[in-house]
């Protein structure tokens, strides 16, 4: 992995935080291949979606907490992730003086995970008691409640001054909780393109339809999310109704190994570039890589041969060295 100093030309400790974050965000926008190695492949999508969305504080705590719950991240990688987003806390501790309910183990009591469990169970009384002691947890209540379809917790949170932002609507959409989304919007919760993308990711077409009918914006993330998760019905409806897409849509289909989706995308005019091959190789999807190359997808052979999958490496090495094309297709 390239050290941060190589990215901005200054010593890590001397570089302003905003400078470092800006450099990394630009590298994400450019789909630099080394960035895909920051975390395990299972969380590449979460990482890029998070950074791409320029997540606000509520999103950062919720999404990064889920990300780090899934994979082990080395310390230097954690520091890089901190630079990408305005993130101030991970796994905030609940005050030791808060009395916790029976059944919560003392070894994990006080963790963000416990608080998340209380919200998801709809235990408003416990949520209230903990928030009174740990004011910094207010920022995540609305998003957690929306994702868990705990409307009463969400109502309590708003009545008691807990902030919300676009991530609340996105969280409701991810879970397919249309009733929660309706209430949030009726009470002036903001939303953005991530709402449609979140619903598309998990195949909640009715949520996408309602959101669009009620003025929710969408962008390329909707098609990319549907392609990544193999949600054909959402993808087809979105395209039939004018949802934009770009080469990232093919990238995510390839990264997930969804060859049928990739074939459909190309048959319907979706653009691709060399990163389609790069992510397929990195994820070990040899059949996807072969099909992409056979159908004219550009690649950079050196990037694909770095795959940790022996069968992919062997196939890539057998390809002629002059069969290298950096042009987008």
Tokens representing 175 are 């879970």
Write the CB contacts of 36 (distance below 8 Å, at least 6 apart in sequence). Answer: 44, 278, 279, 282
**Residue 216's Cα: distance from chain center in Å?**
19
Contact 208, 200 (CB under 8 A): yes
Domains in the chain, ordered, with CATH? Answer: 1-90 (no CATH), 91-164 (no CATH), 169-245 (1.25.40.20), 258-329 (no CATH)
Alpha carbons 250 and 163: distance in angstroms, whole number = 36
Tokens representing 246 are 């770009």
Map the chain to HEC letters: CCCHHHHHCCCCCCCCHHHHHHHHHHHHHCCCHHHHHCCCHHHHHHHHHHHHCCCCHHHHHHHHHHHHHHCCCCHHHHHHHHHHCCCCCCCCCCCCCCCCCCCCCCCCCCCHHHHHHHHHHCCHHHHHHHHHHCHHHHHHHHHHHHHCCCHHHHHHHHHCCCCCCHHHHHHHHHHCCHHHHHHHHHCCCCCCHHHHHHHHHCCCHHHHHHHHHCCCCCCHHHHHHHHHHCCHHHHHHHHHCCCCCCHHHHHHHHHCCCHHHHHHHHHCCCCCCHHHHHHHHHHCCHHHHHHHHHCCCCECHHHHCCCCCHHHHHHHHHCCCCCCECCCC
Taking residue 89's Cβ as centre, other Cβ atoms within 10 Å add up to 16
pLDDT of residue 138: 87
Helices 259-267 and 232-240: angle between axes, nearest 10 degrees: 20
The dihedral of CA 247, 253, 255, 257: what is its sign?
Answer: negative
Alpha carbons 218 and 90: distance in angstroms, whole number = 29
pLDDT of residue 125: 83
pLDDT of residue 8: 34
pLDDT of residue 31: 42
pTM, full prediction: 0.68
Ramachandran category for residue 219: left, alpha or beta (phi over 0 → left; psi -120 to 50 → alpha): beta
Contact 114, 108 (CB under 8 A): yes
Block mean pLDDT (10 aa), the chain, length 329: 32 38 44 41 44 41 43 39 37 43 41 74 85 81 93 97 93 96 98 95 97 97 94 97 95 94 98 93 95 96 87 94 59
């Amino acid at each position: 992995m390239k050290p941060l100093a190589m990215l901005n030309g200054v010593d890590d400790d001397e570089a302003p935080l905003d400078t470092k974050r800006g450099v990394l965000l630009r590298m994400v926008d450019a789909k630099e291949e080394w960035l895909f190695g920051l975390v395990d492949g299972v969380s590449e999508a979460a990482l890029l979606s998070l950074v791409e969305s320029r997540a606000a504080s509520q999103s950062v705590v919720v999404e990064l907490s889920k990300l780090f719950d899934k994979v082990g991240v080395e310390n230097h990688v954690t520091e890089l992730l901190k630079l990408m987003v305005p993130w101030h806390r991970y796994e905030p501790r609940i005050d030791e003086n808060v009395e916790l309910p029976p059944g919560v183990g003392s070894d994990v009591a006080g963790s963000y995970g416990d608080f998340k469990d209380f919200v998801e169970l709809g235990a408003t009384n416990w949520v209230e008691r903990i928030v009174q002691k740990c004011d910094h947890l207010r920022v995540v209540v609305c998003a957690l409640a929306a994702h868990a379809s705990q409307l009463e917790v969400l109502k309590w949170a708003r009545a008691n001054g807990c902030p919300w932002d676009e991530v609340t609507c996105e969280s409701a959409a991810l879970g397919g909780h249309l009733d929660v989304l309706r209430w949030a919007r009726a009470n002036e919760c903001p939303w953005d393109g991530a709402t449609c993308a979140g619903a598309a990711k998990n195949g909640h077409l009715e949520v996408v339809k309602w959101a669009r009918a009620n003025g929710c914006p969408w962008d390329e993330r909707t098609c990319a999310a549907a392609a990544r998760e193999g949600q054909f019905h959402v993808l087809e409806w979105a395209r039939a109704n004018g949802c934009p897409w770009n080469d990232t849509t093919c990238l995510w289909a390839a990264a997930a190994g969804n060859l049928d989706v990739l074939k459909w995308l190309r048959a319907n005019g979706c653009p691709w570039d060399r990163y389609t091959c790069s992510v397929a190789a990195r994820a070990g999807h040899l059949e996807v890589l072969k099909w992409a190359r056979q159908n004219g997808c550009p690649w950079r052979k050196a990037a694909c041969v770095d795959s940790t999958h022996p069968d992919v490496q062997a196939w890539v090495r057998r390809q002629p060295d002059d069969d290298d094309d950096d042009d987008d297709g």
